[in-house]
A and B are shown apart, each in its own frame.
Chain A
Amino acid sequence: MAVPLRYNFRNLRVRWRLTIATMLGIALVVAVFVMVMALSQGLKSTYVSTGDPRNLLVLRKGSTAESSSQITRSEVRLIKYLDGIARDGDGEPLASAEILILINLDRIDHHGSGNVLVRGIGPVGLRLRTSIRLIEGRMFQSGLHECVVSRKISERFANCRVGEQFRSGRTLWRVVGIFEAAKTAYESEIWTDADEIRDVFKRNFYGSILIRPVENSTMVATMIKRMEADKQLSIRVLPEVEYYIEQTKTAAPIQWLGSVLAVVMSIGAAFSAMNTMYAAVSARTREIGTLRVLGFRRRHIYVSFLLESVILALFGGAVGCLFSLPLNGMATGTMSWTTFSEVAFEFRVTPELLAKGMAFALVMGVLGGLLPARLAARKPVLDALRSV
């Protein structure tokens, strides 16, 4: 029969000071780990959720970012009317020639500035993206220097609320609407008309074309092959979803930081758990002797002490997860290494991350308990009973 768990709980309660100190130590390690990972998780899921699996993105050959790709007007004309591109009710092809430019805007507190992406879209650009939802104001009208701003950008940068104006490229842009885009990367953008952007910022080319092919995979495959092989076109075609997944590498440094921190800090916390458990073993030497006399085997003692350490660590882990929960949904921003623009996103504490945090706690508990439990199990019965 195993040593009852109640024995362990009571022991933890008796030495409550030490228990709380060790538990808090583990809790903080878990909290830091979950928080940093929630940061990288939020950033990643922003990109992963962006893009419609039905869309294809056309960039210049060799280009890795929409903001630095160039597609000439003649290329746009050629691509737009290719066979294999779906058409709407009026026979207009579902292809939006777009341009992305980087503009520098003051932050909302006017302390410093940041780069924001402005996307110029074609007339069908909105129809290709179903996740866009206007939450305030109206859509922009072409030719009037109007734009719509994502809610996150309007909360982070100055002069970006409905009715306000900001200056960029010798033009005042009027904000007429605020949109949300289901937590995708579009939520870090300002949208307006592509040709207006080209005119104001003196670009005689577009950046990319977003197309919706017909739902016929063999036809699409031949279309892509033909497009990439065409000598007149120097382009690269890839699924829109894939383009955004490539950008999750922006989260790599944060993830790196999180992992290094977690490993080093948890070693430290395991040491402190070990210290606590050694103290527990030496304070209870007589009890161990008594348990042995009562008929508990060495392995029972071993399991009991190991379990005590694990319980301690799991409590700590749970507290740590609780600490990190309020962070869920908090807005923050960083720079994308692909476009050098601000990406606004939210911390995401997912059940998976919490589980990872608890797993970390478990590892700390086991590491901290192994050696002390072995020591406890190996105490000779007589010596243990004799000790004061």
Chain B
Amino acid sequence: MTIPGFILRNALRNKRRLVLTLLSVTLSLFLFTMLQTALHEMTQPSQTEESSLRVIVRHKVSLGNALPTKYQSRIERVPGVRTCMKFTWFGGIYRDPKDFFPQFAVDADKLADIFSEAKVDPQENAAFIKDRAGCVVGIKTMDRFGWKLGDRITLKGTIWPCDPVLTIRGVYRGGIDETNLFFHHEYMDELCGKWGVCLNFWIRAHRAEDIPGLIKQIDETFANTDAETKTETERAFLLEFVSMIGNVKVLINSICSVIIFTLILVTASTMSMAIRERAREIAILKAVGYDGWQILGLILAESFGLALTGGFLGCFGAWFGATMLFQYVNIATVSNGMFIKLEVTPHIVVSGMLIAIVLGVVSCIVPAWSSVRMSVVTGLKELD
């Protein structure tokens, strides 16, 4: 019998126990991976080349206060600004509050330049720009409601007192969030009675190096006016939003530590059970000439194998689960827009596997060491 064969036989001696332990390792690491993925999603907004060029201007008092649209031409004159677009959260209801998806009023002709990662067919985009009551919708929302180009939809305003009727002129694919709807800001202004305000301005800078200077200059331009501004990068803007949700990081990380602690506890007690009942065999192995280190190696290999298999199943189960969830469930809707994509990053998988490795060592080291140190005579006396 080969050494690996021996280890495998030992691992399989109590199949029921093996399966149960394996399942609890798998479940715990599955949960760990999922929670870390959710945390990552919330605290680390993904950054691309395009998003690092974006800057957002909002009212200094808070996100809930609107800015005068007349600021737009002054922002456009600030050096380093390539495009400046009005951007207003519409937050209307389509059919029923349950059918929620994000809607924004924007400058139609500037949309493609600001969100360049959201790809729209050039012809569709031209049609959207031309039709003042037109809109562009993300592919996810199109599929969700089974919409086609040319369909007309009505949104009931909850924040803005108007109910725009929009014609779908284009579909976009790509970008972080494929569920948004964009329509003409002018159209909203007209319906709501020309208030001359918008919630934010989204800016695309020429180069990333221009951004610090540009932020400073915009805020200085509007200092001491009735509507002072706060300008920040897209990343800072998103992180601030996340920080509002509360101390999610502490919550999720403490849950994760509890899970890992419990897992170590449970696995260690199982392993010690498995090793202690083998005291006689270990004594025999020693009697036939294996030294302590070799035996320790055998036990460690078994425990490692168990932990790593569980870790592998758990992490990849989570990866598979997250992918499936992303494919078949509209996560953005279920979670109130908190999660947009669920991506199990390699980093998370690696930390899950590292935990499995630590688990493999920690869970067996104490009982393994004590049974290895046990004298052959005591070991042989043990009844199984």
With A28-B261, A170-B226 already in contact, the answer to whether A102 and B64 are too (CB < 8 A) is yes
- Give the distance in Å from the alpha carbon of A199 to the alpha carbon of B258 in the complex: 52
Provide the B167-203 mask, 1 if CB < 8 A to any CB of A, else 0: 0000000000000000000000000000000000000
What are some 8 contacts across the A-B interface (CB < 8 A)?
A: A17-B269, A18-B269, A62-B156, A62-B157, A68-B159, A170-B224, A265-B27, A274-B20
Docked CA distance A332–B224 (Å): 35
**What are the residues of chain B within 8 A of A332 when measuring CB–CB?**
246-247
Q: Which residues of A contact B230 (CB under 8 A)?
A: 104
Residues of B within 8 A of A64 (CB): 97, 158
Q: Which of B150-166 contact A (CB under 8 A)?
A: 156-159, 161, 163
Contacting residue for B338 out of A21, A29, A253, A339, CB 8 A? A253
What CA separation (Å) do A62 and B31 show in the bound complex?
41
Binds B, one of A80-88, A112-120, A287-295: A112-120
Stretch at the interface among B55-63, B111-119, B135-143: B55-63
B301 interface residue per 8 A CB criterion: no
In this assembly, does A221 line the interface, its C-beta being within 8 Å of a C-beta of chain B?
no
Chain A residues near B245 (CB-CB < 8 A): 334-335
Contacting B at CB under 8 A, from A249-288, are 252-253, 256, 261, 264-265, 267-269, 271-272, 274-276, 278-279
- A271 near B23 with CB under 8 A, answer yes
Residues of A within 8 A of B270 (CB): 272, 275
B266 within 8 A of A: yes
Closest to B230 in A: A104
A60 CB–B CB distance under 8 Å: yes
Assembly CA distance A115 to B259 (angstroms): 33
Name, among A22, A265, A269, A272, the residue most crowded by chain B CB atoms within 10 Å (CB to CB).
A272
Q: Mark B255-299, 1 if CB is under 8 A from A, else 0.
A: 100110111011011101100000000000000000000000000
* A104-B244 Cα distance, complex, nearest whole Å: 11
CB neighbours of A28 from chain B (8 A)? 258, 261-262
Q: A279 and B273: CB pair below 8 A?
A: yes
B-contacting residues, A16-72, CB 8 Å: 17-18, 21-22, 24-25, 28-29, 31-32, 36, 39, 60, 62-65, 67-68, 70
Number of interface residues of A (CB under 8 A): 60
Residue B65 lies at the interface, judged by CB distance under 8 Å to chain A: yes
Give B346-384 as 1s and 0s: 1 = Cβ < 8 Å from A's Cβ atoms: 000000000000000000000000000000000000011
Among A22, A32, A60, A388, contact of B384 (Cβ-Cβ < 8 Å): A388
A335-B31 in contact (CB<8A): no
Q: Which residues of A contact B60 (CB under 8 A)?
A: 104
- Most-contacted residue by chain B among A21, A168, A256, A339 (CB, 10 A): A21
> Is B233 in the interface zone, CB < 8 Å from A?
no
| CB-based contact A269/B243 at 8 Å | no
A101-B64, A102-B62, A271-B23 known; A114-B265 Cβ under 8 A: no
**Beyond known contacts A104-B60, A264-B27: 18 more, CB 8 A cutoff:** A21-B268, A31-B258, A68-B64, A101-B62, A102-B62, A103-B61, A104-B62, A115-B62, A168-B61, A170-B226, A253-B335, A264-B30, A268-B27, A268-B262, A271-B23, A275-B24, A275-B273, A334-B244
